[in-house]
Amino acid sequence: MMITLLLALQVEITDEAVVWKDALRYQRLKPAGSKLASNSACYFHPFQSPKGVELTEVAPADHLHHRGIFLAWVEMIGKWHADYWGWGKPAPVDKRVIENIIAREEGGVVTLVNEWKAEGHVMLSEKTEVRLSMQEGIRILDIKTTLECEQSVVLQRWAFSGFALRAKKEGIRSVEGPSGPVTLKAPSHDKPETNWPDAAWYGFQYADAGVAVANRSGNPPTTWHVAKSIGLLNPAPQAVAPITILPSRTFSYRVLAWDGPTPRETLNTLTK
């Protein structure tokens, strides 16, 4: 029998962040002096293994706009053309920002309300529910996000962007999946057809810990943009086909962290 332990009592909410002690932080505001190139904060970092191994990173030198665990797309078309990912090539990043306006906790669930603004106007409204728990010695982060809009917003077809985990690239020993180590060729950022096939989860294994992202039921069909060289785990449904948000769309993901070698059998059970 699996026992689930919610970590509700450890949540502290401030104007700057939501903090799960010794486990996780959600950054509501962009930290002063940060090297982060993105206009937006609204990311999770650090995400730690049960024994405290830090698994995510923000503003790494190779991609200064990458930020822990986050949700953003590189090209969105509606009344405005927008890039909230922070790359700035296919769409404008200027005056495009995701702003957190509400953070509250009740019964072990943290609710985050964000506004995706372009030119000072709300392009999308976001409601995200966050649950942090432990099962079988594995730390589990469940994230359910609903995006709403009054005018159609299209997520353009790109190989990457969407829900992403930027892991620490140093020390990654292997890419793991439900059946074992994965040795597929890294996909190309501008060729959606080179993405990896869908799987229940993909993850990175380090010497003493690991982290994985699981796609959840109810999401659109997806392929994966997994790049060991930069520590990126990115299920990318818009790589299959453009996605229209009107009036709403919901995306759900599970992030798992462990200590020691890959607990494949347990991960396969927890990601069904």
* Whether the Cβ atoms of residue 255 and residue 143 lie closer than 8 Å to each other: yes
Cα–Cα distance measured from residue 131 to residue 27, given in angstroms and rounded to the nearest whole number: 16
Cα–Cα distance measured from residue 203 to residue 20, given in angstroms and rounded to the nearest whole number: 23
Is the sign of the CA dihedral 78, 84, 89, 92 positive or negative? positive
**HEC letters along 186-221:** CCCCCCHHHCECCCCEEEEECCCEEEEEEECCCCCC
Cα–Cα distance measured from residue 20 to residue 11, given in angstroms and rounded to the nearest whole number: 5
pLDDT tens per residue across span 42-59: 999 999 999 999 999 999
pLDDT tens per residue across span 163-220: 999 999 999 999 999 999 999 999 999 999 999 999 999 999 999 999 999 999 999 9
* Least confident stretch, 8-17, 60-69, 81-90, 207-216: 8-17
Alpha helices in the chain (DSSP H): 264-270
Cα–Cα distance measured from residue 146 to residue 139, given in angstroms and rounded to the nearest whole number: 23
The pLDDT value given to residue 109: 96
Answer whether CATH 2.70.98 is correct for domain 4-270. Answer: yes
Return the structure tokens found at 164.
């992403």
Cα–Cα distance measured from residue 63 to residue 234, given in angstroms and rounded to the nearest whole number: 15
The pLDDT value given to residue 179: 98
